[in-house]
Structure 1
Amino acid sequence: MCFFSHKEAKEMACKTVFKVLGLALALTMVSQGAMAKGFLGSVGVSGGVFACTPDSFETDNDFGTASLINIGDVQNRSICPAGDLDYAQFTLTDVTNVIVETSGDTGDTVLTLYDSTFKEVATDDDSGNGSFSLIKQPNLPAGIYYIKVEEYNNDNEIAAYTLSLQSCTPDCTGKVCGDDGCGGSCGGCAANEQCNDQGQCEKLCDADSYEPDNDFTQAVVIGLGESQDHTICPPGDVDTLKFTLTDATPVTIETTGPADGDTKLVLFDAQGNQLAENGDKSRDDYYSKISIHLDPGDYFVQVTGYDENSIVASYTITLSVCTPQCDGKICGDDGCGGECPPGCSGDQVCNAGQCVDPWPANCLGEAGPSAKTCPEGLTDVGCCDNGRLVFCYKEQLWCMDCALDGNVCGWYPGDFFNPPGYYCAPQEYLDPEDPSGQYPVHCPGAGPCTPNCEGKECGPDGCGGSCGDCQGGGLCVSYHCVAPYPQSCLGPQTPSAPSCPQDLSDIGCCDTGNRVVWCDQGKLYCADCPTNQQPEYQTCGWQASAGYYDCGGQGEDPSGQNPLQCGFCMPFCFGKECGDDGCGGSCGTCQEGYT
């Protein structure tokens, strides 16, 4: 998480951390050998194909087909196929405390209880064991009720689970608060107390002497140079203070306190318009600080805990005159929300309080933008400038020197977490440039671009042009033309053939080399399962939970609808001008007089 005092600075810092460090999780997944298709998240789940067994209560997919369940019953069920809904109906002859629960070895359910008019009475996701569900509903009147069970996202199967319906007798023996065991209460505690596991009320904190001060009409006056001791108690408490300035003044409003405290500060003008906000001073200090130049007038400050459920047992708030810190500085933040004079003129930018020439002369990293504007053609996708990552953010140019962290600048194709673009990362995870040539590695505004095709058969020339195309279905890999599938199997991030045979879909299949092969957006992908670093992913087979073939699967689709072995024929014309393509077609014909 990023912690900064000003919204713009926080957004930019998080952006730069993302561009430089945001690949960490994805690259860890790659290095550990995650499932080939599952990592990309580009393969759809087959509808109507499943490896589980529908339960004996089917069909019970709506109110009209709900199966019967009685108090005391425990039913063995399944969510099969993905998207299946299980409905059950029960009748109460008297007011009853009811417990409805799902359980099982694996799975994630959502329970919903309805009355006879199909109006929702209660719902629950994860109150049961693990990710299963539990509803405790006290004092249900006599009548007909319905239970609906569904998988959390309705996109996965649950091979087996149990649904139970029980009555419940409340028990508050020795308790003054908390759950009575049936969804009711044994009593409540005061606002500044909490109920412990033994059903007893414990004091959380003491309200401070300034209460009530929860809104502008109750605001406590604080003067310049004054400190006040407060508490955020009970949870959700708001402390409101008011101060008046007779002259334009730079001020600092700051909270301090014990190490476990976490506050949030918001500053308003006399009309209630928000002027500034701060949550954390830094990564290590969760108290708050606002420094700002203010005109004469009345102002309000509100202090809360980090969220509506938090308390702060004690803290001190101080209002002081802020002294600008501009010694030796001619630009940049003065420490009071203003700028040190005279500032930078022309194209120069501020670095550590001094004006310097903009990029490409200087690369300032996270210290600030390296140029006030972005050259035409530069976007957030970025580019590389002699090992430096350059990109545009909010119409300003930012530059990161990748080598400072032992990284290089290069192209990353994207994944679940990161969009395609240029990044700072270890060299083994990056391409020198965008293989499609759509986003040149050369930065606009960095000077003339000289096309570089030395040692290249194909691919981009670094200036938006091409070094050549591959013929006969060949693929351009690392600037050299290579044979397509089945000779090549290039993994989940690089197509192994520019097109797919008619019979290949995203469900995929396993070829004779124990490789998973599938089609995604019209291109054939292939992952060599035996080369995976994790033994459990070294065999191609059926992934029942996902509904497709992948590394780490087991055997064949039990439904028989999707054969294990790839049965298609892939035409092969790489390196050929004529002759048979291997599938009954032709790679071309020769001119008269040639064979």
Structure 2
Amino acid sequence: MRKLALLFALALAVTGCSGGGNKVVPKTDLGDAGEVTDGAGDIEAPDARGPDGKGPDASDGTVGPDGQVEETGPDWTVGPDGETPPEELPCQPDCTGRDCGDDGCGGSCGSCIGPDVCGANGLCVPPPCQSSKDCPGDLVCNQAAGYCVECLGNEDCGDDAICGPDSKCVPVHKCASDKDCKEWDMVCDKALAYCVECLAHADCPETAFCKDSFCLPDVCEGGVQGCDGNVIGICLPEGSGWQTVQACGAIQYCEAGVCHDQVCPPGQAYCDGELAMQCDAIGKESAQIKDCEAAELHCVGGECLDLVCAPDAMFCSDSMTPALCGSDGMVFQPQAPCANGTYCFGGACVPWKCKPAAPVCNGNIVTLCNEVGSGPQPGGTDCTPAGQCCYSGECKPPAEEICDGVDNDCDAKVDEGCDADGDGWCASVKQVVGKPPVCPNGGGDCDDKVKETHPGQPDAPGDQVDNNCNGAVDEGLTCAGTCTGHTLDAYLCALELCYQAAPVTAAFSSPTGDNIETAWEAVAHFGNPANSLAPKAGASYGLLATGPATGTAHSTDLPGGTSIGDPYAKDGYQTFDNVEFKIVMKAPPGALGFSVDFIFMSVEYEEYIGTSFNDKFYIFLTGPTTTGGQKVVINSAACSNPNAYYDFIEPGTGEKRCYIAINTAFSEPCSNPTTNIGGTGFECGPPDSQHGSSTGWLTTKWPVAAGEQFELVFHIHDASDGIFDSEVILDRFQWLYGPFSAGTFPWAP
């Protein structure tokens, strides 16, 4: 009887399924089930008793009106076709691109090490912060970035480490020679007396450059033309960044070092007839969003709307006709059709980007210009498989690279080797077609390794260089009178200022009222003839000192005068023996800035480093355009020991900086001076009170506006007393006509 009853129940269940719903089959213990044979096979029927053996078991469902248990759990069902669906696949964990967090199945992709936390993207990131109080342990808050770091400056690392570019403390290894640093694959910064990763780019791997004594990964491939955003640039030779060549136009995009016309409005939805389109971020290509016509709608502003056009807006009713939409968006007024050579784009007539049906290049693919003239047609012939490149609408074999804005040699680079120094002039040995983006000034650069040498550059005096590439060296350089002695004309000549745009005014003065007749002089050479103080240009240079400028005794208080404060010093000490050379001049047309060479020497070395006896040399610039009429110190440098002494903190970077004095990182320690200043009285030697050292030769470069009249002041003073003098040699003032980096740097030819 039990088998027949169960068979009847199963028959009812199957019959119920045929009515359009899924009847849940009871799930009970099959241990003592009977068997029913129906000719198709054996079915094991579940026991209909409850746990107590007296009735139906509702533990896995509910008891229906017919006394049968109806399954309510999700275990399995019989579908309309009488089949049971396959079992659900087990969860597959996925940690692709994740270091931490949920794997999608309730498990973990890993844990972060140390103080790092798991970010929303599944990557380990530093703890977020708004204040250093938010940071765990010894970490501090980089408020600009919004996360905790190990250090922001050397002061966060203690005495035996410095703060690296990745905001992590790097151990310091003391040194006196490069030999002391080889164990760590480093070099010795003798001024700081510890090992560093680099002092020059040559100390770094080929794929890195040197910045602030650390090797950083190249930003780009040196000398290669590419794109920096929407600007064509030449990567600097060391790979540290881009030298701007040309900004692409407002309706262009930059790709592979070439400006291309946009084919659609970047990042916007727009209409191509009744097709709603979405343009990519740079305006290179677009994708269809929706066919509005198929939906019996109209495309307006990239959307399918029940309107003809955007109310009161100009649009293109077709590829040749601008139109003004009515205020209700249902009617429009066609305007005059576009003239030959133009097409309608964005509601206005714009010039063809190519001639309709003419062969054109779409990257390295030969195709035809579309019928409107707005750009290349899709498809075409790819020149790449044949080892050729597309040029003027044809696949052509690789040829010698010339300077024409085209990849002639099929190496995916454009105009490489045309302008190695990045001054905007192509090398004279290269063929130049027109004025391509790499050299908008044209060709004719006779020394493409030096930015200051190119056509139109003023000839520098006495440097034996054809600066303007006209085939003549130092032509026509004459100066009224001699370039040595104690006259204003001689001093201007010594700085090469007589060869430049003539200064409007020039004068010596003392803000402290001292008698400065002995404090300046134009000389052919200072010190021993064999030392490192030969003029950098011309046959002489200018001396400016806080005591007698010539001779070898340098501990003299200039006659007369008083003391005044220094508004640029944070220590509050008084200054003495202030001496200034002030010139007012006008930048010539085309000038981008100027440079001046100098070397600072002082008897304050080395016993007074980090003290109030910190004589300083300032270069002040005041210009209505360049400085907004403010008096600005333009020569400063990194400090030799910023934890012990610094003059100011650079806004934006937080770097501790020093003005040119004995505390700069350029200062040469007497343990290993690299610049021979013998015979000046400032050279190293015992006793310290009668000798000193120098910064070595430096160059300050600074921008000014072409045609701007500005004031330039060379200022030197004693600090806290009028003895233990300091002196500066000034030489080679010159205008800069090509791109340059502003600041103060070790002298280079």
Same fold judged by TM-score > 0.5? no
Q: Name the structure, 1 or 2, with higher relative contact order (CA <8 Å, separation 6+).
A: 1
Which structure has the larger Rg over C-alpha atoms?
A: 2
The TM-score normalised by the length of structure 1 is 0.25
The TM-score normalised by the length of structure 2 is 0.21
